């Protein structure tokens, strides 16, 4: 806790002064001599009063003065507060292996369905962006609160060749930087100012893939750039083991290496046997502060999306907490007055 006006702490010197004055007042009280015929009658008539009742109101008053003095110093505290305008980037693998039908009707269609359900479940203030990656990555939909635009972008995803997981992470960071000036875009080449360990901005990347990186920037290098910017990456491995299904994405473009319309290209020719690189996905998640999840069915994938911590995003703020000490001081003063009236009523 820091103090904006620490000079007011000198006022605490009043506490020993008040204590000294209180002691002097108690000692200077003059005794009165009155004759009674029976001392036992006097003792019976005198009210019983304990020492702590006698001095407790004054002690509470001193505590109140101390608390109000601290309030005058304007103390501040660094706390984490929830944010309503969080940013979520869905980075979806659209390599040809996503045409596999081990998850019906295909991995890609199942991923689309889960992503659509996820978008509909988010708060209206949450900004969501869509990044698709195959041989390279592209921002299909910049972060927005317009669910219609997001649904259109997701429904139009189609496949292309190869898998560039690292590029998907970097392009997601670019998308976040477009709406957050505090984040340095990797494509700009500017060096970010690393956040303190354990602190994050109110933005996450949810990366879904069914394979392993085979082109572009290594995933762990991209993950380090995410760490430097305080962006957590939650990774999802999607698909069954030992896939030998027949691809079912169709042909939508003559150019299988380009993104047509949204993400163009088609799957074709034989099954895909490359498995999920779980080790790398776990390392990416651990390094950035996220978590890794494995989904081997459409239902499991929907459950993963539902359980993502999108509602728990916080930011670190420095907030003045003088009102807390002022409130405590006011309560103590009130309590002291009430006890004084109750235990020492005026004649």
pLDDT in tens, 20-42: 888 888 787 655 555 555 556 55
Alpha-carbon distance of 128 to 313, in angstroms, equals 14
Burial 222-233 (b: 16+ CB within 10 A, else e): bbebbbbbbbbb
C-alpha 326 chain-centroid distance: 29
pLDDT in tens, 276-326: 999 999 999 999 999 999 999 999 999 999 998 876 555 556 788 889 989
Position 260 confidence tier, pLDDT thresholds 50, 70, 90: very low
pLDDT in tens, 172-224: 999 999 998 888 899 888 888 777 787 888 899 999 999 999 999 999 999 99
pLDDT in tens, 118-138: 999 988 888 999 999 999 999
Cβ proximity of 209 and 276 under 8 Å: yes
Tell me the average pLDDT across 139-144: 96
β-partners of residue 75 are: 3
Among 64, 57, 60, which Cα is nearest to 12's?
Answer: 64
Is the domain covering 84-312 a CATH 3.40.50.410 domain? yes
**Rg for the chain (alpha carbons), in Å?**
34
Alpha-carbon distance of 183 to 177, in angstroms, equals 5
79: helix, coil or strand? strand
In the chain, helix, strand, coil percent, each to 5? Answer: 45, 20, 40
The pLDDT mean for the chain works out to 83
C-alpha 39 chain-centroid distance: 73
109 to 123, 155, 253: CA distances (angstroms): 24, 9, 18
Among 165, 154, 270, which Cα is nearest to 209's?
Answer: 165
Among 179, 233, 183, 230, which Cα is nearest to 208's?
Answer: 233
Share of the chain above pLDDT 70, in %: 80
| Domain ranges in the chain with CATH number 3.40.50.410 | 84-312
Cβ proximity of 308 and 234 under 8 Å: yes
Among 109, 146, 155, which Cα is nearest to 128's?
Answer: 146
């Amino acid at each position: 806790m820091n103090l904006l006006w620490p000079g007011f702490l000198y006022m605490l010197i009043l506490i020993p002064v008040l204590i000294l004055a209180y002691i002097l007042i108690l000692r200077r009280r003059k005794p009165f001599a009155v004759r009674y015929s029976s001392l036992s009658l006097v003792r019976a008539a005198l009210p019983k009063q304990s020492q702590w009742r006698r001095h407790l109101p004054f002690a509470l008053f001193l505590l109140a003065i101390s608390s109000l003095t601290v309030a005058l110093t304007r103390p501040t505290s660094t706390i984490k507060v929830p944010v309503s305008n969080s940013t979520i980037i869905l980075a979806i693998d659209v390599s040809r292996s996503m045409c596999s039908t081990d998850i019906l009707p295909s991995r890609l269609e199942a991923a689309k369905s889960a992503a659509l359900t996820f978008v509909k479940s988010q708060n209206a203030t949450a900004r969501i962006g869509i990044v698709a990656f195959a041989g390279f990555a592209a921002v299909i939909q910049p972060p927005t609160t317009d669910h219609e635009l997001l649904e259109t972008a997701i429904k139009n995803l189609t496949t292309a060749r190869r898998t560039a997981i690292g590029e998907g992470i970097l392009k997601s960071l670019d998308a976040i930087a477009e709406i957050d000036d505090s984040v340095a875009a990797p494509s700009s080449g500017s060096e970010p100012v690393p956040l303190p360990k354990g602190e994050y901005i109110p933005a996450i990347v949810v990366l879904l893939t069914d394979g392993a990186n085979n082109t572009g920037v290594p995933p762990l290098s991209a993950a380090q750039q995410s760490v430097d910017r305080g962006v957590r990456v939650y990774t999802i491995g999607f698909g069954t083991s030992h896939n030998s299904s027949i691809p079912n994405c169709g042909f939508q473009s003559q150019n299988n290496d380009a993104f047509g319309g949204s993400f163009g290209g088609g799957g074709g020719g034989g099954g895909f046997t490359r498995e999920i690189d779980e080790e790398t996905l776990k390392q990416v998640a651990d390094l950035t502060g996220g978590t890794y999840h494995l989904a081997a069915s459409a239902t499991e994938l929907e459950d993963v999306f539902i359980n993502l911590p999108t509602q728990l995003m916080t930011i670190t703020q420095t907030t003045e907490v003088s009102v807390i000490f002022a409130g405590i001081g006011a309560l103590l003063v009130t309590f002291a007055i009430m006890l004084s009236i109750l235990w020492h009523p005026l004649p």
